[in-house]
Amino acid sequence: MEDFMELRIGVIGTGAIGTEHIERIANKLSGAKVTVVTDVDKPRAEKAAAVCGARIEKDGTGVIASSDVDAVMVTNWGPAHAKSILGSIAAGKMVFCEKPMTTTGADAKKIVDAEIAKGKKFTQVGFMRRYDKGYLQMKEILSSGKTGKPLMIHCAHRNVAKGTEYNTPMSVNDTAIHEIDVLHWLVGDQYVSAQVLFPKQTSLTHKDLRDPQIMILTTESGILIEIEVFVNCQFGYDIKCEVVCERASVELPLASFPSVKQDAKYYTALETDWKYRFIDSYDVEIQDWINNASKGIVKGPSAWDGYLAAVTADALVKAQGSGKIESIATGPCPDFYSC
Amino acid sequence: MEDFMELRIGVIGTGAIGTEHIERIANKLSGAKVTVVTDVDKPRAEKAAAVCGARIEKDGTGVIASSDVDAVMVTNWGPAHAKSILGSIAAGKMVFCEKPMTTTGADAKKIVDAEIAKGKKFTQVGFMRRYDKGYLQMKEILSSGKTGKPLMIHCAHRNVAKGTEYNTPMSVNDTAIHEIDVLHWLVGDQYVSAQVLFPKQTSLTHKDLRDPQIMILTTESGILIEIEVFVNCQFGYDIKCEVVCERASVELPLASFPSVKQDAKYYTALETDWKYRFIDSYDVEIQDWINNASKGIVKGPSAWDGYLAAVTADALVKAQGSGKIESIATGPCPDFYSC
Amino acid sequence: MEDFMELRIGVIGTGAIGTEHIERIANKLSGAKVTVVTDVDKPRAEKAAAVCGARIEKDGTGVIASSDVDAVMVTNWGPAHAKSILGSIAAGKMVFCEKPMTTTGADAKKIVDAEIAKGKKFTQVGFMRRYDKGYLQMKEILSSGKTGKPLMIHCAHRNVAKGTEYNTPMSVNDTAIHEIDVLHWLVGDQYVSAQVLFPKQTSLTHKDLRDPQIMILTTESGILIEIEVFVNCQFGYDIKCEVVCERASVELPLASFPSVKQDAKYYTALETDWKYRFIDSYDVEIQDWINNASKGIVKGPSAWDGYLAAVTADALVKAQGSGKIESIATGPCPDFYSC
Amino acid sequence: MEDFMELRIGVIGTGAIGTEHIERIANKLSGAKVTVVTDVDKPRAEKAAAVCGARIEKDGTGVIASSDVDAVMVTNWGPAHAKSILGSIAAGKMVFCEKPMTTTGADAKKIVDAEIAKGKKFTQVGFMRRYDKGYLQMKEILSSGKTGKPLMIHCAHRNVAKGTEYNTPMSVNDTAIHEIDVLHWLVGDQYVSAQVLFPKQTSLTHKDLRDPQIMILTTESGILIEIEVFVNCQFGYDIKCEVVCERASVELPLASFPSVKQDAKYYTALETDWKYRFIDSYDVEIQDWINNASKGIVKGPSAWDGYLAAVTADALVKAQGSGKIESIATGPCPDFYSC
């Protein structure tokens, strides 16, 4: 392989997820190296740079402008994403951005518009569940034509516990955001309305957090989706998804663990740390991005997907407050994104 | 055992379920015999009488009045239940009535009032799921104190297919009626509101039936219950129930079948006939009724439970039409029924 | 029903299992009553008699001779079974005998010969697993013609713990005896050889008991059966059975329990008391015997099955001692028993 | 990363598995590149070289001698493995060899002796199951101290079908070889005896192949292992492993697939192609080898493990012919390999 075939990546933001991606690229993946990093916290940037032998730029603008950077990875904090992505697009560089793409629908729209103006897709958003083997297998089954059309989806997103900094809107923006992206992709449909129901409150939460919640989304074709979000369930990290079709029901597999018979129980482990359930999909996601970005194309979740997620999340947060059914008006998918 | 210890039962209505109970009493259960039967269809009554060596009365009133009848089994069609039950109460005879106890809340209230006036419970309603081993095991686990309080219940009631005579309100009155009874018993709570959502319609139904539906009930303490009713699901008779508590989630077991590996599938059978899933619970139910009725007491689902089911079903049917949240105003449980 | 249609049963032996059957007949089953009982322990007999309103005879011979006894239930201790059964046959009375039918192959042969001499089958042996829903479902699948021929069977019979009175041969006579009967019935074949292997000994047993053991049986057609017997496994009462055929593998279902997610485990209960796994099959078994004995016929496990089990158990006990493959020479099944 | 930190690999043998590894290194893994390849089939070598931009040497000796080769991957046919490995050791180069390490125990011994003579481990054998998540999780559970000591292992290795070129000894050398390696590693014990039982023959095999077989291994501490090998089972690729301990039983997870309810079945897919079950473990294995070989160390299955597998396989093949228990005399593990 020629050197120029190795994608040179600049990383903006070397916090937890940024550093994980840097280590992933250095130690497990093929065809890329991190050449430049930056972070608002200088020592943190230095630590990350040492992992991969990168040099340090003073800010994101510097990273994007670097001649030894072919593609940009945006892993700074959410409100700063839009600027880094728009800068990369302006510089004509492929960009990977961790979720959420933007913190407002308006910012997301700017990115979509910038790509359309340039006539090229640059942005992939870090919705890694689309790379999870279980969801991919579900999509294959649902696309086989044997199940009939999807009618309903029952989901649950459960975490062991969250601290007092985690509040009611975060149930949407930090938690259900994964279901928001993966479900419309799974059934090839677009959301039109959002509603939130509040079951009995668990005593194991705090005053700023309604927990659990049931979020209800409907799609253009009429599919009804309900997502139980329960972030203090105590018992484990538990992701459920059942798609009920006209002729079949399809359920997401659990994480795989040995079955144990002991102490009058027949059990498998439930994960308690959310990191492990989708750990493999991160590797596949970033390798896929490297491979495609090297060719100047986007095959994963696009800026349009980031925009849909932002608008849908806004509607759910509004519905949390209003108690009403809120509409989700994204407008039709531009031909450019061929949804 | 003395002869007089054998409970002599009069059966009003010898259709499918009536005949099944007659055969059950004759061939599988202990402590009772059917001595008198009646049916609007004379040949059908004669056929049933031959099974158990009973004599025939010309109508329900005759059965109730018979001196060789200690207790009455009401298995005629729904609209006639109230009269048969009220007659039995007036005659001071214990009575078992198949579900629904009555077809209106008003009729149900009359039965409750009649029992209170007499100062004694006479009526057991045929909600056999309370005798199902799976639900009983769930109730034991939920009552153990280890799970924390129930917060949500996710249910599904799925049938393979229904004919054109089955219409939208029957999704409540004939189908969800089982969940209505068993769920409030399971968590020891009472319903306060009802709502019905309509997901995408399956193409495999007919114009008089919205299918599937999602029925939402809330309880006094705030538990949110959702029941997917999907009676043309094609794939099997499938009853699901998951109670999500503060510290644990508890799921109803599936019917038990051998696991088979064949043709690249690892499978268990799904039932297609609803009769088999709860067949054992019918035996336990009727034996329990015989044992208690012989002592003049009611331990199973009471007239009050029949009343609650009727009022709740009415609210759900109303909600199907209105699209709104409808309240369920049963009033508090009388001390007499010690719910 | 006429009185004479009720089978009058005399019970010889009112220990644990005898008393359970008496209660079963009195409180749960149809078409029979226990009229006479006996036991070597007089107060125990009196207690049992009180349960069902029976009178007491001083011994088994008296029970068999009683004019108010139509059929005999033999639930005394094993070595006394042969005398009670042979007496019943001589008296022309139908008989149900708890397992083992006899403690020696020679005694078993006498019973078979006595039935053949009388030209009628009288004896049913208490192998209740044949009435278990799981085994019946397996047999139906194996008989469907879709699985191809059975080639191997992998079984396990595990108990939580056994006391010091339980010794190595009892692993065959008290434990594997259930598999011995049910497996040849399941595949319709006869045993020809027996062998026992001794895995590493658990530290949680005592000097008179080799635990676990692997018992290997082969059949006439060449099916290889292995039965793990592990009676101090600590973790639960666990019965496994997988029949591997030419085109499919079929596994016995576990006992059915709710699934629970709690404390980072996803589990179902394992039974610890062997009584519950097959409790339902006892009811079905005794009802079936009552129904058939009333007509003077045997449809359940016959004297020939009791004989096969005795001879097979003898060979396995011999193999425990010899370490060799021992032959099982039962001779061909007489036409009379139409195996 | 500096260039010299990238491991330069020479591949001897570019058949199916060789080419897969080359693609893996080029497209998915980190820290290595294939610089030189060879194959007895020149066009095949050229095709493989094109994948990774490698140059071609005329034979294995040339590959090993190349100055741009830091480490050697041996993926030619089995009988040639010994020469390639011994050559690599002589040249002081780290080597990865696909299983079997050698086709005879004697050749395996030479490799062990060569490493001991050099005072350094060079060889990793391609037993990828040790990198499978399921086996690793089992090992962690078994090492937790909570299960008590392992007493028995029940395994099955089932393939859909094999052609006429596959014969009886290949059940050991090509199929059970995986269990042979992974099981002694799993329980940290060494084999002492081997035996093979032949169940009823499936009609779906051919005259040169006994199918199924049950292979029995015992270990130094007395653990009894049975491995059902059934390579024409028709129904799927099915790998089972249950370790029964003094206080618990631990079972290998199945491959994970969505659960589907359709056509009266509740099923998950069974794989039919053996390639997929352990596909992830190949990636982890080769990445681990790259990482360790870069440091000049061996952490995966060693030459000693290759030797144990060879001697055990020899004993099983002998047992297939003799029908007897054959001893496995590997001698104690040299301190050098610190088993």
Ramachandran angles phi, psi of D243, nearest 5°: -100, 120
Ramachandran angles phi, psi of B223, nearest 5°: -60, 135
Q: At C163, which amino acid appears?
A: G
Q: Is residue C245 part of a domain?
A: yes
Q: Is residue C196 part of a domain?
A: yes
Q: Is residue A246 part of a domain?
A: yes
pLDDT of residue D274: 85
> Is B282 in contact with B191 (CB distance < 8 Å)?
no
Separation of alpha carbons B313 and B171, rounded Å: 10
Residue matched to tokens 């693609």: D23
Task: Identify the contact set of chain D against chain A, taking CB-CB distances under 8 A.
Answer: 1-2, 25-31, 33, 52-53, 133-134, 137-138, 141, 146-147, 247-262, 268, 280, 287, 291
Render pLDDT for D283-325 as a digit per residue (tens, 0 to 9). 999 999 999 999 999 999 999 999 999 999 999 999 999 999 9
Residue B244: both structure tokens together = 């999500």
**Per-residue confidence at D58, pLDDT binned at 50, 70, 90?**
very high
Answer yes or no: do A81 and A205 share one domain. Answer: no
Separation of alpha carbons A290 and A296, rounded Å: 10
What DSSP string describes A92-111?
Answer: T-EEEEPSPS-SSHHHHHHH
Residue matched to tokens 């139908």: C94
Render pLDDT for D251-264 as a digit per residue (tens, 0 to 9). 999 989 999 999 99
Q: How far is CA D274 from each of CA C186, D158, D185, D278, D306, rounded to the nearest angstrom?
A: 32, 9, 22, 8, 22
Q: For residue B129, which of B159, B99, B92, B105 has the smallest C-alpha distance?
A: B99
Number of residues that make up chain C: 339
* CATH number (domain holding residue A207): 3.30.360.10
pLDDT of residue C338: 80
DSSP A328: -
Separation of alpha carbons D88 and D71, rounded Å: 8
Answer yes or no: do C44 and C171 share one domain. Answer: no
The overall average pLDDT reported for chain B is: 95
Does the pLDDT of residue B4 top 50, yes or no?
A: no
How far is the alpha carbon of B270 from chain D, nearest alpha carbon, in Å?
5
CA C13 to chain centroid, in Å, comes to: 17
Cβ contacts below 8 Å, chain C against chain D, sum to: 100
Number of domains in chain B: 2
Residue of B nearest to D260 (CA): B267
What DSSP string describes C269-316?
Answer: E--SSHHHHTHHHHHHHHHHHHHHHHTT---SS-HHHHHHHHHHHHHH
Give start and end residues of each alpha helix (H) in A169-264.
170, 177-187
Answer yes or no: do B172 and B146 share one domain. Answer: yes
**Nearest Cβ partner of C250 from B33, B147, B258?**
B258
Task: Please give the share of chain B, as a percent, with pLDDT higher than 70.
Answer: 99
Answer yes or no: do B123 and B156 share one domain. Answer: no
Number of residues that make up chain B: 339
How far is the alpha carbon of D254 from chain B, nearest alpha carbon, in Å?
10
Answer yes or no: do D204 and D108 share one domain. Answer: no
Answer yes or no: do D316 and D265 share one domain. Answer: yes
**Per-residue confidence at B221, pLDDT binned at 50, 70, 90?**
very high
In this prediction, residues B262-278 reach a mean pLDDT of 94
Separation of alpha carbons C210 and B16, rounded Å: 56
Separation of alpha carbons D210 and C222, rounded Å: 13
Answer yes or no: do A151 and A288 share one domain. Answer: no
Q: Is residue A79 part of a domain?
A: yes
Render pLDDT for D9-40 as a digit per residue (tens, 0 to 9). 999 999 999 999 999 999 999 999 999 999 99
Q: Which residues contact D35 (CB under 8 A, 6 or more apart)?
A: D8, D9, D10, D54, D55, D66, D68, D69
Task: Identify the contact set of chain C against chain B, taking CB-CB distances under 8 A.
Answer: 1-2, 25-31, 33, 52-53, 133-134, 137-138, 141, 146-147, 247-262, 268, 280, 287, 291
Render pLDDT for C261-316 as a digit per residue (tens, 0 to 9). 999 999 999 999 988 899 999 999 999 999 999 999 999 999 999 999 999 999 99
Q: Is residue B2 part of a domain?
A: no
> Is A267 in contact with C267 (CB distance < 8 Å)?
yes
Answer yes or no: do A140 and A265 share one domain. Answer: yes
In this prediction, residues B82-95 reach a mean pLDDT of 98
Q: At D62, which amino acid appears?
A: G
Contact A263 C235 (CB under 8 A): yes
- Helix (H) / strand (E) containing B41: none
Separation of alpha carbons D301 and D282, rounded Å: 13
Residue B338: both structure tokens together = 């010690």
Answer yes or no: do D257 and D323 share one domain. Answer: yes
What SS3 class is residue B253?
coil
Does the pLDDT of residue A318 top 70, yes or no?
A: yes
Residue D101: both structure tokens together = 């390490």
Max Cα distance, chain C (Å) = 64
Q: How far is CA A44 from each of CA A16, A52, D171, rounded to the nearest angstrom?
A: 10, 13, 55
How far is the alpha carbon of B102 from chain D, nearest alpha carbon, in Å?
34
Contact B244 A212 (CB under 8 A): yes
In this prediction, residues B331-338 reach a mean pLDDT of 88
Answer yes or no: do B289 and B239 share one domain. Answer: no
Pairing of strands C7-12, C32-38: parallel
Answer yes or no: do D196 and D330 share one domain. Answer: yes
Q: Is residue A1 part of a domain?
A: no
- Helix (H) / strand (E) containing C193: strand C191-197
Does the pLDDT of residue A2 top 70, yes or no?
A: no
* CATH number (domain holding residue C63): 3.40.50.720
Contact D235 C224 (CB under 8 A): no
Among D9, D22, D52, D262, the residue to mutate for chain A (most A Cβ within 10 A): D262
Separation of alpha carbons D48 and D53, rounded Å: 9
Q: Is residue A2 part of a domain?
A: no
Q: How far is CA D161 from each of CA B131, D175, D234, D236, D272, rounded to the nearest angstrom?
A: 47, 12, 6, 9, 9
In this prediction, residues D194-206 reach a mean pLDDT of 98
Task: Quote the domain boundaries for residue A107.
Answer: 7-128+280-301
Helix B16-27 and helix B42-52, axial crossing angle in degrees, nearest 10: 10
What SS3 class is residue C257?
coil
ipTM: 0.94
Does the pLDDT of residue D1 top 90, yes or no?
A: no
Q: Which residues contact A302 (CB under 8 A, 6 or more apart)?
A: A121, A123, A124, A125, A337
E strand intervals along A259-308: 259-262, 265-269
List of chain D residues whose C-beta atoms are within 8 Å of the C-beta of residue C150: 200
- Helix (H) / strand (E) containing D309: helix D303-322
> Is A70 in contact with A9 (CB distance < 8 Å)?
yes
Neighbouring-strand partners of residue B73: B11, B96
Residue D29: both structure tokens together = 């893994």
Separation of alpha carbons D297 and C194, rounded Å: 50
pLDDT of residue D331: 86
Residue matched to tokens 């199918």: D211
**Nearest Cβ partner of D224 from C199, C235, C246?**
C199
pLDDT of residue B59: 97
Q: For residue B261, which of A76, C249, C296 has the smallest C-alpha distance?
A: C249
Q: For residue D268, which of C243, B272, A253, A258 has the smallest C-alpha distance?
A: A253
Q: Is residue D257 part of a domain?
A: yes
| Segment C186-189 long-range contacts (CB within 8 Å, at least 24 positions apart) | C186/C135, C186/C138, C186/C139, C186/C142, C186/C153, C186/C241, C186/C243, C187/C142, C187/C150, C187/C153, C187/C219, C187/C223, C187/C243, C189/C150, C189/C219, C189/C220, C189/C221, C189/C223
What SS3 class is residue B241?
strand
Task: Please give the share of chain A, as a percent, with pLDDT higher than 90.
Answer: 92
Residue D22: both structure tokens together = 């080359």
What DSSP string describes C84-144?
Answer: HHHHHHHTT-EEEEPSPS-SSHHHHHHHHHHHHHHTS--EEE--GGGG-HHHHHHHHHHTT
pLDDT in tens, chain C (339 residues): 233 378 999 999 999 999 999 999 999 999 999 999 999 999 999 999 998 999 999 999 999 999 999 999 999 999 999 999 999 999 999 999 999 999 889 999 999 999 999 999 999 999 999 999 999 999 999 999 999 999 999 999 999 999 999 999 999 999 999 999 999 999 999 999 999 999 999 999 999 999 999 999 999 999 999 999 999 999 999 999 999 999 999 999 998 999 999 999 999 999 999 888 999 999 999 999 999 999 999 999 999 999 999 999 999 999 999 999 999 998 888 999 987
Answer yes or no: do D67 and D164 share one domain. Answer: no
Number of Cβ within 10 Å of residue A220's Cβ equals 12
Separation of alpha carbons A175 and A159, rounded Å: 9
pTM reported for the whole predicted model:
0.95
Neighbouring-strand partners of residue A243: A153, A250
How far is the alpha carbon of B10 from chain C, nearest alpha carbon, in Å?
15
**Per-residue confidence at B1, pLDDT binned at 50, 70, 90?**
very low
Q: Which residues contact C126 (CB under 8 A, 6 or more apart)?
A: C96, C97, C98, C99, C285, C301
